Structure 1
Amino acid sequence: MFYLLDLKYLLSITHKLQVAISSNFNQQTKAMYAPSNALAGT
Protein backbone atom coordinates (compact mmCIF):
# COMPACT_ATOMS: atom_id res chain seq x y z
CA MET A 1 0.00 0.00 0.00
CA PHE A 2 2.72 2.45 0.97
CA TYR A 3 4.69 1.40 -2.09
CA LEU A 4 1.85 2.46 -4.38
CA LEU A 5 1.56 5.80 -2.60
CA ASP A 6 5.30 6.36 -2.94
CA LEU A 7 5.12 5.48 -6.63
CA LYS A 8 2.34 8.00 -7.25
CA TYR A 9 4.27 10.60 -5.26
CA LEU A 10 7.44 9.98 -7.27
CA LEU A 11 5.52 10.12 -10.54
CA SER A 12 3.93 13.44 -9.60
CA ILE A 13 7.33 14.87 -8.65
CA THR A 14 8.96 13.74 -11.90
CA HIS A 15 6.01 15.11 -13.86
CA LYS A 16 6.32 18.50 -12.14
CA LEU A 17 10.06 18.50 -12.81
CA GLN A 18 9.50 17.69 -16.49
CA VAL A 19 6.93 20.48 -16.80
CA ALA A 20 9.23 22.97 -15.08
CA ILE A 21 12.21 21.95 -17.23
CA SER A 22 10.22 22.08 -20.47
CA SER A 23 8.71 25.49 -19.69
CA ASN A 24 12.16 26.82 -18.76
CA PHE A 25 13.55 25.37 -22.00
CA ASN A 26 10.76 27.00 -24.01
CA GLN A 27 11.49 30.37 -22.40
CA GLN A 28 15.19 30.03 -23.22
CA THR A 29 14.53 29.14 -26.86
CA LYS A 30 12.10 32.05 -27.20
CA ALA A 31 14.71 34.39 -25.74
CA MET A 32 17.28 33.02 -28.19
CA TYR A 33 15.04 33.27 -31.25
CA ALA A 34 13.37 36.60 -30.43
CA PRO A 35 16.34 38.78 -31.53
CA SER A 36 16.76 36.90 -34.83
CA ASN A 37 13.03 37.20 -35.51
CA ALA A 38 13.18 40.92 -34.81
CA LEU A 39 16.14 41.27 -37.18
CA ALA A 40 14.36 39.27 -39.87
CA GLY A 41 11.30 41.48 -39.47
CA THR A 42 8.88 38.62 -38.91
Structure 2
Amino acid sequence: MTTALYDMIVASYLQTLTAVAGYLEKAAAFCAGQGLDTSEIADS
Protein backbone atom coordinates (compact mmCIF):
# COMPACT_ATOMS: atom_id res chain seq x y z
CA MET A 1 0.00 0.00 0.00
CA THR A 2 1.44 3.37 -0.99
CA THR A 3 1.14 6.58 0.96
CA ALA A 4 0.45 9.76 -0.92
CA LEU A 5 2.66 12.78 -0.36
CA TYR A 6 -0.50 14.65 0.56
CA ASP A 7 -1.17 12.31 3.47
CA MET A 8 2.33 12.80 4.85
CA ILE A 9 2.46 16.58 4.63
CA VAL A 10 -1.02 17.94 5.27
CA ALA A 11 -1.15 17.10 8.98
CA SER A 12 2.15 18.90 9.56
CA TYR A 13 1.02 21.95 7.58
CA LEU A 14 -2.27 22.11 9.49
CA GLN A 15 -0.44 21.99 12.80
CA THR A 16 1.90 24.77 11.69
CA LEU A 17 -0.92 26.96 10.39
CA THR A 18 -2.85 26.50 13.64
CA ALA A 19 0.21 27.59 15.62
CA VAL A 20 0.77 30.63 13.41
CA ALA A 21 -2.89 31.62 13.78
CA GLY A 22 -2.45 31.47 17.55
CA TYR A 23 0.61 33.72 17.39
CA LEU A 24 -1.28 36.22 15.25
CA GLU A 25 -4.21 36.26 17.68
CA LYS A 26 -1.85 36.89 20.60
CA ALA A 27 -0.12 39.67 18.66
CA ALA A 28 -3.45 41.31 17.82
CA ALA A 29 -4.50 41.15 21.48
CA PHE A 30 -1.18 42.69 22.53
CA CYS A 31 -1.56 45.51 20.01
CA ALA A 32 -5.10 46.18 21.18
CA GLY A 33 -3.93 46.30 24.79
CA GLN A 34 -1.11 48.72 23.94
CA GLY A 35 -3.26 50.91 21.68
CA LEU A 36 -1.20 50.07 18.62
CA ASP A 37 -2.55 49.92 15.08
CA THR A 38 -1.94 46.45 13.65
CA SER A 39 -1.90 47.73 10.07
CA GLU A 40 1.02 50.04 10.86
CA ILE A 41 3.01 47.15 12.29
CA ALA A 42 2.14 44.86 9.39
CA ASP A 43 3.21 47.50 6.86
CA SER A 44 6.60 48.06 8.46
> TM-score when scaled to structure 2?
0.64
In our comparison, the structure showing a higher alpha carbon Rg is 1
Distance 2:4 2:25 in 1: 32
Gaps of 5+ in 1: 35-42
Identity of aligned residues (%): 3
User: Comparing both structures, which one devotes a greater share of its residues to helix?
Assistant: 1
Pairs aligned (count): 34
Unmatched 5+ stretches in structure 2: 37-44
Q: Which has the higher contact order (CA 8 A, sep 6+)?
A: 2
Deviation of 1:5 after TM superposition, in Å, equals: 1.8
